[in-house]
Amino acid sequence: MPISPRAGQPAAPEDLIDVDALLAAYQDIRPDPADPAQRVSFGTSGHRGSALRGSFNVDHILATTQAICDFRAAAGVDGPLFLGIDTHALSAPALASALEVLVANGVAVRIAPDGEATPTPVISHAILGHNRDRGAAAAGAGAARGLADGIVVTPSHNPPADGGFKYNPTHGGPADTAATKVIQDRANALLEAGLVGVARVPYVQARAAAVVHDYVGAYVADLADVVDLDAIRAAGVRIGVDPLGGASLVYWQAIAERYKLDLDVVNTAVDPTFAFMTTDWDGKIRMDPSSPYAMASLLRLAGSFDVAVANDADADRHGIVTPGTGLLNPNHYLSAAIAYLFGHRADWPAGTAIGKTLVSSSMIDRVGAGIGRAVVEVPVGFKWFVDGLTDGSLGFGGEESAGASFLRRGGGVWTTDKDGLIACLLAAEMTAVTGRDPGALYQELTEQHGAPAYRRVDAPATAAQKKTLAALTPASLDATTLAGSPVTAALSHAPGNGAAIGGVKVVTGDAWFAARPSGTEDVYKIYAESFRGPQHLDEVLAQAQTLVDAALARG
């Protein structure tokens, strides 16, 4: 898709949302459950939509929260529920709606002090912390008694008019497909029934029943167990941080104060219009720390710091900027972080593997082979890393979309959801310990393993075409060669766990492409990589698009 001429430019008045109109639409618009676009739909990161489009309104949140209450009751979960929000305009009213239903259902809710946003990884950390000593002795009835779960109200890096709502069960990570289907189906049934079956109390009563939880103190105090903050402080690493107006702001301020780091928060603005942002590739405001357009303001400050970092609105994604490299491609940073971690975490078990999604760079496979660690390749979605991070069989799980988490320094689980805060702090640790920033460390990897060219392109697709693409098989592509090289693998299931990828991946010895439908937009995505340079990558992408378009045309 073409790059907007306004990409990377400061947001203009006409780019800003009308917050009052958005909040009014949240309360006033009644979604039509007969319209697929207005039903509850859980993608890889929960239900997302906008009140203005009738896809994220009070009825959606009431129904979805009741469905979660029903789900946790059926599973025997009766511990506290940790509830957090980001800084999008729709998050606060959605939290209020959810709280009314949770309390009416007798759920013991834990919330931050009034008005304080809570990052997604902090909710995961809180769930795991509560459950650490409360694990079930055996499976079966009552096994989940006393265990905690959580809800995060966030559309992640999406534009300001959007809202999001996701459930993290007792394992602390994103709910799996089976759980989200149960919740989604129940929520839609409640919408169809006109919310009959939804329990609700007045907000004043719900707020009085909720218990305030010190998320900031608990999370920040524990950080030294996952990142070497002493090394960062001793080396005097100069760190610049842009929270991009999101939930990480007060956490970065607390981190700097507690650990006495040379850390400067360069942007303290919190504004639901996100008027301080530069626009993304399409001219829209989007808090994506992996986008050079959204990160234009921080990139201008790159030379002022040893490493500069940013997070999206719920802080589950990271952006890493260095003086010599600028904004690191997420794949490059993941590769450098993996090489560093597995060389500097002596207490991790020798068999601990590396987790990557199938659209992440093959550089990770080459790094893994070079350090003698297995690479477990799974479908898109951080939920596929939950079990491995929990039991320690994975030391690291990462996605090409700038999301990752890794084990504690001693080898125990830290979070089972993406944690942009520790990913950013790790960049500072890498700089402190090695004397070279992550950009320089990645350059060293390319000298050993080659320099891949990587790109993603989006193409328009109808709902029917997206459904066809999700069901494609390698045989339907009929590809024996790709950009002049023989195909060595054609996949519809991930090799790491055998799960369906919801699309296809075609691999050669020096390149690959993967095609899958978007879960939130009317497009399909083609990811591709070549170790033979940008021109060869263009050839891979051209053939990939031809193959996919032909398969879609055949239906």
**Is the separation of the CB atoms in 180 and 188 below 8 Å?**
no
**Residue 233 to residue 230: CA distance in whole angstroms:** 5
**Residue 436 to residue 306: CA distance in whole angstroms:** 9
**Residue 402 to residue 357: CA distance in whole angstroms:** 11
Residue type at position 479: A
To which H or E segment does residue 365 belong? helix 363-371
Report CA torsion sign: 15, 18, 22, 23.
positive
**Residue 315 to residue 332: CA distance in whole angstroms:** 19
**Residue 263 to residue 276: CA distance in whole angstroms:** 21
Nearest-CA neighbor of 360 among 371, 350, 375, 345?
Answer: 375
| DSSP single-letter state for residue 16 | S
Q: How is 509-525 classified by DSSP, letter by letter?
A: SSEEEEEEE-SSSSEEE
Assess whether 156 carries a catalytic annotation.
yes
**Residue 263 to residue 243: CA distance in whole angstroms:** 13
CA distances from 11 to 21, 294, 310, 456 (A): 19, 10, 18, 25
Nearest-CA neighbor of 461 among 545, 538, 379?
Answer: 545
Residue type at position 292: P
| DSSP single-letter state for residue 223 | G
Radius of gyration of the chain (CA): 23
Q: Which phi and psi angles does 31 have, rounded to 5°?
A: -65, 150
Q: How is 346-394 classified by DSSP, letter by letter?
A: TTS-TT-EEEEETTS-THHHHHHHHHT--EEEE-SSGGGGHHHHHHTSE
**Is the separation of the CB atoms in 330 and 361 below 8 Å?**
no
β-pairing, 481-482 vs 485-486, is antiparallel
45, 50, 156, 291: the catalytic one is 156
Question: Among all residues, which ones are annotated catalytic?
Answer: 156
